Amino acid sequence: MHDVRRRSRSVGLSAAARVATFLGVLAFLWGLWELWHWIGTRFKLTWPFPVNDVTMPHLHRIVQALFQPAQANGPSLLHVLLEASAFTAKEAALGFVLGAAGGFAIAVVLSQSRFLERGIIPYVVASQTIPLLAIAPMVVVGLGSKGIHDWLAVAVLAAYLTFFPVTINALRGLQSADPRAVELMRSYAAGRWRILWKLQAPSSLPYLFSAFRIAAPLAIVGAIISEPSASIQGGLGGAIVNFNQYYSIEPQELWATNVISALLGIVFFLAVVAAERLIVRRAPENVA
């Protein structure tokens, strides 16, 4: 009983310490931003960029803009951005699932043959050197000709951006299984697929979730970048393009949109971290 209370107390203290650290870092960054703004405007700095209310608006103005109408007699900017975030999150979530599934499937195939691994990995790497903006119109037009909705095309583009880290990390994870355990299973006449799902796949979970933590924010980035190519106005990409036109007049609206986009990426990241704790840390081999 005492151990349970002591453990719960330590968990509570750890959570409080994390919250305090987060707030402390946030306050430090806020003060650093305002200090540089004051120095730049006071001494009229022009390097590395001119510091003024357009290039570096006060952070309190950015926060205030969230609670002010985005348009005359319209809903608040926060309401508009939350709706846009929900739309973009839908695209990014589907893209993340597609990219994760596709990347893991490629890794499974490559893990079964050194010849395929050496022949295909260079093309997997080369695929990431092609700018997303270059292939976005091709994907949108190509899928649109098949009657597929534009937001689904954006999800495919998000998957294109996220499959790479999953493929590389999953392949490394599948190959990390103990060779002695593999030989033991083979001695019991276990087939290739049984070894894969009973031994190699569980061994790859830490590597997979490391990739998922990278891929989750990338799915948000891919969806936001691809939305303008699909002429989608309801997501964060459309909001960024819209507020970019008025940046010289109301820069805080674009900055507020960037803040919400970053927060959405953090939410996706934390969702992966929570899933990792539930799946990996509660695996039988990790339970005393």
pLDDT in tens, 95-149: 999 999 999 999 999 998 889 999 999 999 999 898 888 898 899 888 888 878 8
For 4, 12, 75, the CA distances from 8, given in Å and listed in that order, are 6, 6, 43
Helix ranges (H only) for the chain are 2-43, 59-66, 77-111, 114-127, 132-144, 150-174, 179-187, 192-195, 201-203, 205-226, 236-244, 251-279
Q: What is the DSSP letter of 200?
A: I
Reported pTM: 0.88
Q: Which residues contact 64 (CB under 8 A, 6 or more apart)?
A: 252
Residue with structure tokens 């990241």?
269
For 134, 199, 224, the CA distances from 221, given in Å and listed in that order, are 15, 34, 5
For residue 69, report the phi and psi dihedrals to the nearest 5 degrees. -60, 135
Reduced to 3 states (helix: H, G, I; strand: E, B; else coil), residue 180 is helix
Q: Which residues pair with 69 in a beta bridge?
A: 76
Highest mean pLDDT: which range of 126-135, 166-175, 185-194: 166-175
- Using CA atoms, how far apart are residues 264 and 25, in angstroms rounded to an integer? 19
Average pLDDT, the chain: 89
pLDDT of residue 6: 66
Residue with structure tokens 């931003």?
33
Helix axis angle for 251-279 and 236-244, nearest 10°, is: 160
For residue 1, pLDDT over 60 is answered with no
For residue 272, pLDDT over 50 is answered with yes
